[in-house]
Amino acid sequence: MNIRPKNFAYVLVLGGLISSILPAREAAATFPGRNGKIVYTGMGGGDQEIFVIKPSGEGRKQLTRNDRGDYDPAWSPSGNRIAFVSLRGRSFEPDIFVMSSSGREVKKLTSDQASDEQPSWSPSGRRIAFTSTRNAGNDQDIFSMRPNGSQVKAVTDSDGNETEPSWSPTGAFIAYTSGVGGDPEIFRIRPNGRENKQLTTNDYFEYGANWSPNGKRIAYWASPDGTDYEIFTMKSDGSNQVQVTSNDHQDYSPVYSPDSNRILFESDRGKGSGIGLFTMRLDGTGVRKVPNTGPFAQYPDWKRI
């Protein structure tokens, strides 16, 4: 299973504390527009819950409240709905849900014995790409479905793990992470499963592709040895790879701002323990912390307005 490095989360289940290592964030495409609220995973009542907050740190609101883990939120293109992953089912296997932007009207989309995670909306809002172990062999592959959970279609099918789907702003491609060749690399593929192309070809561990609003660049996080992760960007064809951050901390899950001027990411660079949210210019300068998120803030996505 594709596991986020050095990132442990704890979920309170049925009164007992169990450790749960969560899979890497898929970091879906950012839709173009003005900058709206940030949705993310934080701690609430002893387990993971979903919150929204303004980039300034104002208006923090908890959207989910239960004794199971809720994580990996993704804004719909309209900003009216949020897809997310939850462990609230009877089997404790992660499933995909959708809810309104206020946290109401929760609907379960997947119901099987597989692990269904990492939702990513198509730019039309008509389909959701996701990662699932429902194929034979229990490895992870990319699928897509309608926002009501119907018409599930396979996008990838291999003997390795394909994870973290990210739909391009035009809808023409889905970027994803594959470990089929050994170390995790970033690929792109047509939603119908054709024209599969490897974008990164090196010995680095690469994860979490996020398309820029104009679709010309992709942000991702990488490490030469799986220990010190930094933020990188590249052109959508895999060329012009540029390292954006360089420090002794862990920088994960880059997300372009809807206005294309900044990159939102999670990092342990803040004071004290925990993981927080930060923004920076596209060249890595002007780093700002998003305040008031709490000591644990992960899996961010930025809403357009």
Assess whether pLDDT exceeds 80 at residue 208: yes
For the segment 96-148, what is each residue's pLDDT rounded down to a tens digit?
A: 999 999 999 999 999 988 999 999 999 999 999 999 999 877 799 999 999 99
Q: How far is CA 265 from the centre of its chain?
A: 11
- The long-range contacts involving 224-227, CB below 8 angstroms and separated by at least 24 positions, are 226/5, 227/5, 227/6
For the segment 46-77, what is each residue's pLDDT rounded down to a tens digit?
A: 899 999 999 999 999 999 999 889 999 999 99
Tell whether 213 is covered by a domain: yes
Average predicted confidence (pLDDT) for the chain:
90
Tell whether 2 is covered by a domain: no
**Amino acid (one-letter) located at 297:** A
For the segment 70-109, what is each residue's pLDDT rounded down to a tens digit?
A: 999 999 999 999 999 999 977 778 999 999 999 999 999 9
Tell whether 20 is covered by a domain: yes
Tell whether 3 is covered by a domain: no
Tell whether 46 is covered by a domain: yes
Least confident stretch, 21-25, 90-94, 149-153: 21-25
Residue 184: CATH number of its domain: 2.120.10.30
The model carries a pTM of 0.91
Q: Which of 250, 232, 249 is nearest to 240 (CA)?
A: 232
For the segment 251-288, what is each residue's pLDDT rounded down to a tens digit?
A: 999 999 999 999 999 999 977 668 999 999 999 999 99
pLDDT at 295: 84
Tell whether 68 is covered by a domain: yes
CA distance 196 to 180: 13
Domain, as residue range, for 137: 8-304
Tell whether 293 is covered by a domain: yes
Tell whether 118 is covered by a domain: yes
If one counts the domains in the chain, the total is 1
